[in-house]
Structure 1
Amino acid sequence: MSYETLKNQKPDYPLVDEKDKKGKIKYYYYTNDKGKKVKLKDSQIYAVVDNDETYVSTSFGYYPLVMENDEYYFYGLAEENSTSFSISAGIGSGFGYGGGMIGIGVGSAPSNIKRYKIKIDHLDGNFEKIERLPN
């Protein structure tokens, strides 16, 4: 649920996914101490690790992390004119234009939303746009 728990490899909760009839993930949940199923909003999740693959949660969907030169990056959508980039966790509306496990194509996004190579700051987990990618 936070960068710190991802960095330290100590999950807040073991998450389970709920899938629709087509096998797409609808949401994640965990079971609390009282045995109650607690559904999480995407905006509450920093990242999900599934079968040794890590997916970072943004307001545009989930994107797989890749390591290059000892740094973590992902390739995803961001607002073209923004100077900062927010993670989904703690900021709001979940999948946004996304839906599904791995982001969306630029063709279905507003014109100010572009694809970027995005770096994760190893100190605080913030996102930094590195370069705009061709459509």
Structure 2
Amino acid sequence: MLSRVANSIYWMNRYIERVENYARFVSVNINLSYDLPGMISEHWGLLLEATHDKATYDKLYSEETEDKIIYFITFDPNNPNSIFNILGNARENARTVKETLPKEIWEHLNSFYLSFKQFSTTRKLDFEEL
């Protein structure tokens, strides 16, 4: 039992770290695009290579645009490495051991996931207009 709990907590932590790293990648690229308009737009494709998601992206989308790449990395349910899916994996690991976690950790992670899920639904509608 201890091994299962330790494993779930370990992976919950790893997924949360990945969410943070992916969010930082996107944030840095967005800030660079504000500072260097036009020049950085070509570099969004490099973000796909850095996250090793280029092959998955190419299967789903025909062209590399800033908006599509941001959506793919953050909200796309078809991308197993999107922030949305990684956050869901962290939540699932926390759910399986929530009786051993402090109540606040479960509540914050769960509410963050649910808020992100609700926002991703509205973002998906915006993306479909592109």
- TM-score with structure 2 setting the length: 0.25
By relative contact order (CA 8 Å, sep 6+), the higher-ranking structure is: 2
Greater helix share, structure number: 2
Kindly name which structure, 1 or 2, has the bigger radius of gyration based on alpha carbons.
Answer: 2
- TM-score with structure 1 setting the length: 0.24
